[in-house]
Amino acid sequence: MANKLSAVIIMGFAIFSLVSVTSAFSGTATYYTVYTPSACYGYEDEGTMIAAASEGIYNNGGACGKMYKITCTGATNAGVTQPCTGASVTVKVVDLCPSPGCQGTFDLSQEAFSQIANTNAGKVYIDYTPV
């Protein structure tokens, strides 16, 4: 009986692990250095761990205030071959990154970007999940 219970518990953890891995979305991240009034909050100070979201995520303002955990997964160019720090960062969406100028899924503050990647990379592949 104890062996069956252990097997069930192990299977539960395995399934939970797969669910949490598959719930991440893939995209790209860039960063900005000059903060201007945001589409969500104007000139209100929302801290430094902030981001502008691409139009698909921004959803006509529906993403304002939502939090995302972002992890660098790799380089998008040959300039910095291993830009990722191995860390993740949680950011708050405070702005829209409109097309055609938007170069990433998220445009992070420089402070947030530097937590996950070398800023010399400029743009990196990411995984992101809502938190």
The total of other beta-carbon atoms located within 10 Å of residue 119's CB is: 13
Over 90: is that where the pLDDT of 1 sits?
no
What 3-state DSSP class applies to 105?
coil
Confidence of residue 2 (pLDDT cuts 50, 70, 90): low
Tell me how far the alpha carbon of residue 21 is from its chain's centroid: 14
Would you state the pLDDT for residue 101?
83
Break the chain into its structural domains and give their ranges.
Answer: 25-130
d(C-alpha 55, C-alpha 44), whole Å? 21
Amino acid (1-letter code) at residue 99 = S
Regarding the domain with residue range 25-130, which homologous superfamily does it belong to in the CATH classification? RlpA-like domain (2.40.40.10)
pTM exceeding 0.85? no
pLDDT (tens digit per residue) in 106-126: 999 999 999 999 999 999 999
pLDDT (tens digit per residue) in 50-106: 999 999 999 999 999 999 999 999 999 877 889 999 999 999 999 999 988 888 999
What 3-state DSSP class applies to 13?
helix
